[in-house]
Amino acid sequence: MARQPNIILINCDDLGFGDLGCYGSEVNDTPHLDRLAAEGTRFTEFYMASPVCSPSRGAMMCGCYPPRIGFDKFTKGWVLFPGSPEGLSTQETTFARSLKDAGYATQIVGKWHCGDQKEFLPTRHGFDHYYGLPYSNDMGRQKDRCIWPPLPLMRDEEVIEAQPDMASLTQRYVEESLRFMRDNKDGPFLLYFAHMYVHLPLIVPEHLAVRSRNGRYGAAVMAIDWATGMLMAELDRLGIADDTLILFTSDNGSKAGEWGGSNGELRGTKGTTFEGGQRLPLIARWPGKVPAGRVCEELCASLDLLPTFATLAGSSLGDKQIDGLDVSELLLGGDTSPREYFAYFFQSDLDAIRDQRFKLHIGRANRDVKPWGREAICELYDLKADPGETSNVAAEHPEVVARLQAAAAELNAKLGPDGSERRPVGMASQPCPLTEYDEKHPYFAAEYDLSEAG
């Protein structure tokens, strides 16, 4: 039997499609990630299942569109906040659980954001150990914005520090990751490295800030690149690079604009179902297995990671229905994706659906009114010719519109607001925040010095 591969999944926060040198950036320095792409395959049609954090991450973990697992709406907003009662149900099978059951050592380092109550933490979902922040880094106490309790840094199920130094946190994450890799070098292991960057606030190391050509945003991207280089170097030092699949991606698109991020030529940003909100970089490297120097334009999604990992590891998918497809053959050099359609959900609403070429927008939230309204639309874009979604070609392709409308209607009947295949979200009976502010406590930073958020 072939050796089960080690798997390292690197997931950034709000990193856009155009933020890496190998995806066209001319302002961010990413030599290690560019080398990763040169030594592996760079995907150009890869999607996350939501344009915001919690639904995106829950969907990726479970191979399901967010509404299927109850991750489409939360009591406090689009995403989970400190003390939210909801979280990822322990009835769901995550890729960590699947791999752990197949004999893998499993570790998450970084951002979780699938529920901060004890029953929802990573250690209840197949991870042997956890070290990181349970939600976004703007959900702590900030200058002029002290609406949340102190930001908790956790080890397993315990808060080990409140209001940690963000500028050094990526370095601490790398240290934890290297220790895990060394302890499990004989494999197999799963390392899920979930970056804090480039989510606001951008609190970055000074030595990177002074070298960046793109302000603090560029410095945050440099930190991500450095961390990747460190993981690659450690694989070489341990002699296990050929036994390890590395995947690099981001949870949703960039906020772009004034912060310095870029979604390239794609329309829209984080929080939208235009391409800029959900089409993300995906770089895969596995020497001798994943073709080097390849650019893959086939359709695939984060939903596909769970079944693909299961195939590579010889593990189980569990007994729950999922939306992911096994793309292991595509990953290893195949020409065709098994994915016929990808659907774009905005909370509980199906906004758009695409096939290998065309994308049909069928609805859109009207954010100019409160509470937000929603309007039915019919906009068709040829994504191969027009990835920026600038020219509506619905009138020229009525047969494509009809086919995509039928596919959307079928999926909406299953997963829409009244869908027949929706499963309940996990609910905590007595939710409470993990930390409380104590004015006498010697925090590293009682309030972070930046008020930017989002």
Catalytic residues: 53, 113
- What is the CA angle 381-385-388, rounded to 5? 60
CB-CB contact of 235 with 10 (8 Å): no
Query: Rounded distance, CA 56 to CA 292, Å?
Result: 28
Tokens encoding 229: 């280089």
Provide the H-helix boundaries in 202-244. Answer: 206-209, 215-238
* CA separation, residue 68 to residues 11, 49, 283, 451 (Å): 22, 11, 27, 35
Non-local CB neighbours of 329 within 8 Å, separated by 6+ positions = none
How many other CB atoms are there within 10 angstroms of residue 183's CB atom?
11
CB-CB contact of 376 with 408 (8 Å): no
Query: Rounded distance, CA 331 to CA 389, Å?
Result: 27
Q: Which amino acid is at 86?
A: E
Name the nearest CA neighbour of 99 among 286, 289, 290, 307.
307
Token pair 């895990």: residue:
180
Strand 41-47 and strand 279-285: the pairing is antiparallel
State the chain's maximal CA–CA distance in angstroms.
68
Torsion on CA atoms 207, 213, 214, 216, rounded to nearest 10: 10
* CB burial readout 373-382, b (16+ within 10 A) else e: eeeeeebbbb
How many whole angstroms from its chain centre is CA 398? Answer: 34
Query: Rounded distance, CA 89 to CA 405, Å?
Result: 31
Query: Rounded distance, CA 383 to CA 282, Å?
Result: 18
Token pair 């009114």: residue:
369
- In 3-state terms, what secondary structure has residue 426? strand
Q: Supply the DSSP symbol for 77.
A: B
Tokens encoding 366: 């009207």
Q: Supply the DSSP symbol for 138.
A: T
